Each structure stands twice: as C-alpha cells, then as structure tokens.
Structure 1
C-alpha cells in the first residue's frame, strides 16, 4: 500500500523557461534509464526476492523512484511553462511540442516513447540487482548543462552517487 503526500519530496522552483534543457531532462522521466522505468523495475523485481528484507527494500526504492518521477515531471513542466512559439522553435523543443505541447510524456531525449522492453526482471537476485546498478548510470545531460538551481534539485535525487554531479 502506498501513501501519497501532496507535495514534492524537494521543492522545485524554476522561474525561467528553458525548452532545450527540458528536452534533455525528459529522458530522466521516461527514457531508457529514467525514473518511470526504475520505479516499475524495482516494484516488479520485489516479488521474486527470496528474503523479506530485500522485498521490502525494493518496495521502498520503487516508491522512492515514483517520488523522483514526480519531481522530474515538475522540473520539465516548469522549464516549459508559458513557452511562446519562438521559444519552442529556437529552443529545439519543436519535435516534442508537435506531439505533446507542454504535456509531460514519458519519452527519451531522442524521441523514443517509454517502453518496458528495456526493463530487466529475471527473478534471479543477482541478475536483478546487477540490472538495478547498471540502470543507475550517470546522467549525460548533467555534463551538457550547468545550472546551479537544477543541480540543487537534482542533488536531492541521489544522482551524486552516479557520478553525474559534483
């Protein structure tokens, strides 16, 4: 059972739109190693865990990933809120905007929609935990963009252990 608290785990307050940054960050929402896939991966793997402690841990991590999904969605929403046509075109956001306007759609930065085919759930403790560690790789967009406000928010989501943020 989940309990939903009607607030973000960490406040997201982005005042200036940045459609180019949003087009990269959306991958952390619905890309191949994004929060949507992570939450489903952990919540699905928990059923085959042979130890109650691991089952509980994967449940906790999966629900935490849902909170991260919500934060990434808020970031993308705030980065695209109130965009005019010129900002959409000049910010490289037009391909996404054509299909979704400023709705938050689970997709990779390259435009591929989220797909469960990339999620590894094998029912084997070693395979599943190895899959989890591999999917927790570094964020490439953190190397492309530098934003103190965004770094502060993303630091709350444990990206620093992934080596993407200083």
Structure 2
C-alpha cells in the first residue's frame, strides 16, 4: 500500500509543440527499456529477494519508476497537445493518430506495442539484480540519446533529471547485489 502524492516528481514544461520529440520519447513510455517495463520488472522481482532490504529496494524503485512513467506521459501529452491530424501524419505519427488520436499508448519509438516479454524475472536474486543494473544503464543511455535529440531546454531539464535517477537506481542495485552475493557465498541464501 502506498500513499500517493498527486504531483509529479519534477515539474514538466515544454517550450513548444514537438511531435518528433514526442515520437522519440514514447519509447520511455512503452519500450523495452522504458519506465513501464522497469516498474513492473522490479515490483515483480521483489517477491524472490532473500532479504527485506532488497525487497524494500525493489518496491521503492519500482514505485518511483511508476512516477517516471507519469512524467514521460505528461511530456508526450504536452508535446502533441494541439497538433492537427496532418501534423501528426507529417511527423510519422499518422498510424498512431488513426488508432489512438492523441491518446498515449504503450509503444516504442517505432510504434511496436509493449509486451510482457520486456520484463525479466529469473527468480535468482543474483541474476535478477545483475539484469536490473543493466536495465538501468540501458535507460540511462536512452535518456542521454533523447537529450541529444532535442534543443528544448525545458525538455532537457526533465530528461536530465530522469537520467540521473537511473544512475542512482543502478548504484542502489549494485549495493544490493553485493549484499546478496555475500549471503550466497556464506550459504545464507540457499
């Protein structure tokens, strides 16, 4: 159970309507390395962690990833707000418009729908935490590439914030992995 504070983790502003950027950003909404995949991965993996600290960490980061999903959704919504159908088509979002109008839909930047296959859960804490570190590093890299694709300082500010949170998550997972590996090496795990 969580207490939900109805405000975004970071204020989301955009300088202009930018359909191309919205098209690129949607990958962090419904792509394989996006926020939905991360949130569901961590909230699922927490059940097989061998100690309360690791379980709590996955719960906390999974919940934060849901907040990041809201931030990305807000960015995309603001970037497409007021766009005409022709502008959507010109930006390569014609098929999205045909299926969803301007509504958000879980896809990657190429329009491939989200799938549960994006979620990894081996049931082995060492394997899962190592994969979680890699997932956070992929997300960090994606945020950097998204930063490189825009010149809107408001969008860049939000993307830098999200990139930094991915770095923190990677560090926390590294710490948890070290602790779990110690448990495994002293036979406290199995």
Task: Confirm or deny a common fold (TM above 0.5).
Answer: yes
* Structure 2 partner of 1:41: 41
Alignment check: 8 A CA contact 2:42 2:58 kept? yes
What is the CA-CA distance between 1:158 and the residue it aligns to? 3.3
Distance 1:131 1:147 in 2: 33
* Structure 1 partner of 2:162: 157
Distance 1:156 1:145 in 2: 15
Q: Does 1:7 align with 2:7?
A: yes
Alignment check: 8 A CA contact 1:18 1:91 kept? no
- Which consecutive residues of structure 1, in runs of 5 or more, have no partner in the other structure? none
Residues 117-156 of structure 1: matches in 2 within 5 Å?
117-136=117-136, 137=138, 138-139=141-142, 140-156=145-161
Residues 45-64 of structure 1: matches in 2 within 5 Å?
45-64=45-64
Distance 2:89 2:118 in 1: 31
Larger mean CA deviation between 145-154 and 48-57 belongs to 145-154
What is the CA-CA distance between 1:87 and the residue it aligns to? 1.7
Q: Which has the larger radius of gyration?
A: 2
Larger mean CA deviation between 47-56 and 83-92 belongs to 83-92
SS of residue paired to 2:163: coil
What is the CA-CA distance between 1:157 and the residue it aligns to? 1.5
Distance 1:97 1:159 in 2: 32
What is the CA-CA distance between 1:37 and the residue it aligns to? 0.5
Alignment check: 8 A CA contact 2:40 2:62 kept? yes
Q: Give TM-score scaled by structure 1 length.
A: 0.91
Q: Per the alignment, do residues 161 and 113 of structure 1 end up closer, same or farther by CA in structure 2, a change over 3 Å counting? A: closer
Q: Per the alignment, do residues 160 and 38 of structure 1 end up closer, same or farther by CA in structure 2, a change over 3 Å counting? A: closer
What is the CA-CA distance between 1:112 and the residue it aligns to? 1.0
* Structure 1 partner of 2:186: none
- Structure 1 runs (4+) deviating above 4 angstroms are 159-162
* Structure 2 partner of 1:79: 79
- Which consecutive residues of structure 2, in runs of 5 or more, have no partner in the other structure? 168-190
Q: Give TM-score scaled by structure 2 length.
A: 0.80
Aligned length: 162
Q: Structure 1, residues 44-85: CA drift from partner, whole Å, max 9, x if none?
A: 000000010010011000000000000000000000111113
